[in-house]
Amino acid sequence: MPHKIRDLRLLHADLCQIIMYVDSIFAPLAIFFHGGTVAGFCGETIRLIERYSKGVDSSESLSLTSVVLSLAFLVIVIPLVTISTAEICDCPRKSIQAVNKLLQEQGTLDVAAGTHQIRLFLSQMYVKDVQMTAWRFYKLDRAALMTTYGASVSYVSLVLQSTGKV
């Protein structure tokens, strides 16, 4: 049992290192990805408004289809990327409950080596707060997704309100 816990502890350390490595690669891209989403929603809204203000005819149906596909892409891809990132970052925190359960079970068996490995694992988990960020400005989690969509709705509503004044 102590060897399995030691192996689990080493795998956890590897997972944390992978998350930090991936964060160092994708953090600059993430902030542009989320910012591009807001800009994309505004841009596609402007294109859609321009198409309807001119009147849509059959020759512009391809353009309308591209607007709809772009908006669908923004609505589908951003949640997939952000939620999958949040799930990866939640893995170390979710495993704390399993390790606490192991410690309680191990305590009843009174095996010193196994208990020691579990305590080392718990201390390792509490010390390392592993997360993926958008260039270290904010964490990529579900809150980031909602913030991005909130900003998109705000800016799109501003665009829609200003179209009547133009």
Question: What H or E segment, with its residue span, contains residue 60?
Answer: none
> From CA 42, how far away is CA 44, in angstroms rounded?
6
Q: Residue 127's closest CA among 12, 11, 4, 3?
A: 12
Query: What is residue 116's predicted lDDT score, i.e. its pLDDT?
Result: 76
Blockwise average pLDDT, block size 10, the chain, 166 residues: 75 81 84 85 82 66 74 81 78 73 64 73 71 83 85 90 72
Query: What is residue 1's predicted lDDT score, i.e. its pLDDT?
Result: 63
Query: What is residue 18's predicted lDDT score, i.e. its pLDDT?
Result: 84
> From CA 159, how far away is CA 80, in angstroms rounded?
26
Query: What is residue 154's predicted lDDT score, i.e. its pLDDT?
Result: 92
Query: What is residue 105's predicted lDDT score, i.e. its pLDDT?
Result: 72
Query: What is residue 65's predicted lDDT score, i.e. its pLDDT?
Result: 78
